[in-house]
Amino acid sequence: MEQQKFSLGTFVSGIKSDIKELIRLRIEILRLETFEKASIIGSFVIYGLIIVNLVFFILLFAFVALGFLIGEWVKSMAGGFSIVAVLYLICLIIMLLGHKPIFLWFKNLLLKELDLDSENELLK
């Protein structure tokens, strides 16, 4: 009888330590998955910023060139750059009026990227 209690106590303490280890491992997995998602989001943001900067400078120089071209056509550099400024203003108004669909498009793009990474993780 004494031996059964001792082995039952050992069994219970073994299960208790296994449960503690399982909880510790689950927390560690959750922490690592959070770091992975954060690194994915961080790399996505950095990549996006690089692309946005490149597009910004391409558009900037294209609009400066367009300002000179239109300035030559209307025989006034100020007139050419004023027309380009109006084009920028129209783009700004479009962005302000349509900010919700644009925001949703970026949000869906980010969520799709994160979901694809989760699916690729399942295939490993």
Domains in the chain: boundaries? 2-123
User: For residue 1, what pLDDT band results from cuts at 50, 70 and 90?
Assistant: very low
Q: Each residue of 100-112: b (16+ CB within 10 Å) or e?
A: eeeeeeeeeeeee
- Please report which confidence band the pLDDT of residue 75 belongs to, taking 50, 70 and 90 as the band edges: very high
Mean pLDDT across 14-22: 90
Residues 6 or more apart in contact with residue 87 via CB below 8 angstroms: 63, 66
